[in-house]
Amino acid sequence: MKDHAVYCATKGGVNQLTRVLALEGSSQGINVNAVAPTFT
């Protein structure tokens, strides 16, 4: 699959950003969600 490494790297970045934002916002009662579409 062409550009698979780029796809994986950006999806991993979105996942980690979501986790960090959730940790930082949890003390203020903020929930963070992400939608990560994939190939079908």
pLDDT digits (tens, 9 = 90+) for 7-28: 888 889 999 999 999 999 999 9
Residues contacting 9, CB < 8 A, separation 6+: none
DSSP state of 31: -
- Report pLDDT for 36: 75
Q: Is the pTM for the entire model greater than 0.75?
A: no
- Report pLDDT for 26: 95
Tell me how far the alpha carbon of residue 18 is from its chain's centroid. 5
Task: Please state, in angstroms and rounded to a whole number, the distance separating the CA atoms of residues 32 and 18.
Answer: 7
